[in-house]
């Protein structure tokens, strides 16, 4: 997006508690750098370090630690035994669709009469709604299980009850009490919190009172599909290495990564094993195999990035532009022909989505450049021609380029629907709260939020939000920062260390790839490869020469980067396997001239 403009960044070296690093190094017998990486990621106790590095399915917690798990399981068993119809009520995003598919497949295999319902993004919007609950009741169901939604559905839970429809809510979103106040910061106790009046509620922050703190931390980050998995784990009452239970891990990895769930705690275990399942050629899910085929991923290793950038956008494409049932059908079908057909049309819908997105990105950039984007605190852009399904993604791209909190508003019949994204250091939810008198409604969190407003308020909203951001950030506040885990000598980056680092994988949200810094580097040789990437050979002092690559930094050649130049660099070390031999290569994120 930055079109050759290399933005300079402020380097921030992490300052972990050195005593904690030393203690972990000594007691857990870890390489000091590994101990530092763990402490930087909030892992300080020896037991937590072992849990994290072993990453074994056998260390997953017993699902009955969830409040009301036994009640939920008993109700579902009764429905199965009595031939009562169950409907899984999901969400159209990838987490929701994966969780719905997982629960649907598991219940079907347990002999349940089970159906699924995924609301339409455009006509119904997110979450439970009373009209569809009525339709589900008329269709003969006696039990509805929500996935990835429902925790704020006070009214819909009451409607279910009045319809004689039992509702089990499984969700990971924040609680909102009946008055609409955000309440998840309040520790749960049955008396202090008003939750929807459902038959049962399963939520990662609602555990039995005697559950120890470390176990609470490990499950706190479960997403919609993760909770659906816990429910199935309890229903099957099987050990975690049970083949049937394990067969759902690909769906868990898919939903968790797509929902940008933290890859720490139990998510780390579920995602690692789920990605392995997805990568295997022996028993992949029919729909996943078809998606891999149409995207050229067959036989390749599936990582967090592949899911986030290739697989999830395709599953999302139908939810964004059309109905999400296609993604559900793809994930639940056994027929390779049907799977291939759906995967192909998802792939072309994704291309359609991309071209819609590119057009909006261009229009939004043009609108930004018409004003003085870098003098504004926030960028608030609006149009009648934008598709609400993609404006969130576009807002992220505008943030990436201009580094300002950004809102894109789609205007229709005098009402604007907006999607906003923020930068580190500015709490968007707080900002919207301070503009609430100008808004018809809003929701979200620090970095991403949605809102609606009447068209005539767009101008005032732009001015107010922009002023609020400027006031909070200060004129010097808009500086991109690059955090560094630790500084190293290049000679420390051995293959043995790389194997230790690999034990921390998969990397992603909450568990970023290690980013290291080194000083006193001299450029031995440099050239441009591909479009505008820099390929370098670097040496530190009299040490050995190492290969490095700096993506999209070709414009530095001949300026900062010349043969013989002295540099400091921030990079992620990677193993480069080539012609049967493996070497460590530096993936450079930023460079500064030294001396
Ligand atoms: Mn979710």
Query: Of 473, 498, 525, which marks where a domain is finished?
Result: 473
Residue 72 forms part of a structural domain: yes
Ligand 1: centre distance to CA 252 (Å): 11
Residue 504 near residue 37, CB atoms below 8 Å:
yes
Residue 547 near residue 586, CB atoms below 8 Å:
yes
Check: pTM over 0.85? Answer yes or no: yes
**Which residue in 90, 110, 109 sits closest to 100, CA to CA?**
90
If one counts the domains in the chain, the total is 3
Residue 56 near residue 83, CB atoms below 8 Å:
no
Between strands 545-550 and 113-117, the pairing is unpaired
CA 319, 445, 197, 218 torsion-angle sign:
positive
Domain extent, residue 468, equals 375-473
Ligand 1: centre distance to CA 65 (Å): 21
Query: Of 222, 239, 256, which marks where a domain is finished?
Result: 239
Ligand 1: centre distance to CA 234 (Å): 20
Ligand 1: centre distance to CA 580 (Å): 41
Q: What is the mean pLDDT of residues 197-202?
A: 97
* Confidence band of 313 (pLDDT split at 50, 70, 90): very high
Ligand 1: centre distance to CA 262 (Å): 12
Residue 304 forms part of a structural domain: no
- Distance from first CA to last CA of the chain, Å, rounded? 31
Ligand 1: centre distance to CA 148 (Å): 5
Query: Of 473, 502, 537, which marks where a domain is finished?
Result: 473
Residue 339 forms part of a structural domain: no
Q: What are phi and psi of 452, to 5 degrees?
A: -135, 155
Ligand 1: centre distance to CA 261 (Å): 8
Ligand 1: centre distance to CA 327 (Å): 15
* Confidence band of 161 (pLDDT split at 50, 70, 90): very high
Q: Kindly compute the dihedral angle of the four CA atoms of residues 410, 413, 415, 418, in this order, to the nearest 10 degrees.
A: -10
Mark whether 438 and 565 lie in a shared domain: no
pLDDT digits (tens, 9 = 90+) for 417-433: 999 999 999 999 999 99
Q: What is the mean pLDDT of residues 280-292?
A: 88
Mark whether 125 and 225 lie in a shared domain: yes
Ligand 1: centre distance to CA 47 (Å): 29
Mean pLDDT of the chain: 92
* Distance in angstroms (rounded) separating the CA atoms of residues 323 and 92: 8
Residue 569 near residue 526, CB atoms below 8 Å:
no
CATH number where 487 lies: 2.40.50.460
Query: Which residues have beta carbons under 5 A from ligand 1 (an ion)?
Result: 95, 148, 223-224, 259
Residue 288 near residue 340, CB atoms below 8 Å:
no
Ligand 1: centre distance to CA 223 (Å): 5
Mark whether 423 and 507 lie in a shared domain: no
Non-local CB neighbours of 188 within 8 Å, separated by 6+ positions: 205, 206
CATH number where 460 lies: 3.10.310.30
Q: What is the pLDDT of residue 245?
A: 95
Q: What is the mean pLDDT of residues 533-555?
A: 93
Ligand 1: centre distance to CA 173 (Å): 7
């Amino acid at each position: 997006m930055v079109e050759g403009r290399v933005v300079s960044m402020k380097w921030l070296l992490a300052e972990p508690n050195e005593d904690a690093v030393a203690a972990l190094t000594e007691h857990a017998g870890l390489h000091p750098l590994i101990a530092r990486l763990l402490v930087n990621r909030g892992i300080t106790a020896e037991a937590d370090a072992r849990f994290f590095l072993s990453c074994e399915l056998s260390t997953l917690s017993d699902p009955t630690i969830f409040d009301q798990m036994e009640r939920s399981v008993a109700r579902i068993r009764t429905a199965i035994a009595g031939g009562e119809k169950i409907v899984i009520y999901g969400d159209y995003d990838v987490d929701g669709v994966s969780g719905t598919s997982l629960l649907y497949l598991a219940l079907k295999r347990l002999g349940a009469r089970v159906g699924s319902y995924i609301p339409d993004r455009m006509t119904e919007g997110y979450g439970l709604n009373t009209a569809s609950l009525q339709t589900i009741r008329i269709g003969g169901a006696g039990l509805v299980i929500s996935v990835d939604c429902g925790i704020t559905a006070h009214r819909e839970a009451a409607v279910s009850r009045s319809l004689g429809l039992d509702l089990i809510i499984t969700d990971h979103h924040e609680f909102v009490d009946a008055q609409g106040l955000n309440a998840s910061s309040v520790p749960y106790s049955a008396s202090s919190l008003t939750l929807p009046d459902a038959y049962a509620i399963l939520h990662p922050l609602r555990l039995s009172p005697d559950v120890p703190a470390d176990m609470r931390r490990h499950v706190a980050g479960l997403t919609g599909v993760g909770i659906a998995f816990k429910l199935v784990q309890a229903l099957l009452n099987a050990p975690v290495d049970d083949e049937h239970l394990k067969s759902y891990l690909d769906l868990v990895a898919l939903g968790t990564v797509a929902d940008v769930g933290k890859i720490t705690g139990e998510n780390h275990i579920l995602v690692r094993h789920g990605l392995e399942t997805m990568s295997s050629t022996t028993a992949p899910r029919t729909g996943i195999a078809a998606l891999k085929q149409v995207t050229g991923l067959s036989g390749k290793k599936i990582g967090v990035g592949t899911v986030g950038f290739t697989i999830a956008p395709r599953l999302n494409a139908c939810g964004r532009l059309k109905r999400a049932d296609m993604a559900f059908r793809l994930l639940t079908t056994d027929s390779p022909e049907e799977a291939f057909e759906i995967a192909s049309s998802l792939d072309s819908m994704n291309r359609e989505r991309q071209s819609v997105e590119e057009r909006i990105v261009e229009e939004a950039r043009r609108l930004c450049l018409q004003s003085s984007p870098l003098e504004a605190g926030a960028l608030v852009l609006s149009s009648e021609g934008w598709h609400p399904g993609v404006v969130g993604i576009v807002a992220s791209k505008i943030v990436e380029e201009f580094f300002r909190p950004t809102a894109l508003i789609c205007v229709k019949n005098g009402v604007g629907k907006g999607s906003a994204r923020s930068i580190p250091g500015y709490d968007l939810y707080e900002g919207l709260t301070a503009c609430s008198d100008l808004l018809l409604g809003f929701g979200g969190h620090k970095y991403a939020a949605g809102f609606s407003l009447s068209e005539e308020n767009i101008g005032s909203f732009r001015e107010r939000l922009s002023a609020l951001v400027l006031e909070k950030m200060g004129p010097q506040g808009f500086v991109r920062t690059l955090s560094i885990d630790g500084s190293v000598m290049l000679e420390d980056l051995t293959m043995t260390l790389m194997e230790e680092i690999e034990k921390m994988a998969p990397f992603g949200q909450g568990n970023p790839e290690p980013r290291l810094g080194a000083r006193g580097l001299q450029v031995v040789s440099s050239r441009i490869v591909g479009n505008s990437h820099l390929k370098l050979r670097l040496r530190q002092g009299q040490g050995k020469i190492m290969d490095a690559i700096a993506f999209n930094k070709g414009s530095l050649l001949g300026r900062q980067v010349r043969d013989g130049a002295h540099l400091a660099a921030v990079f992620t070390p990677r193993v480069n396997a080539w012609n049967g031999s493996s070497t460590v290569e530096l993936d450079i994120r930023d460079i500064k001239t030294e001396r």
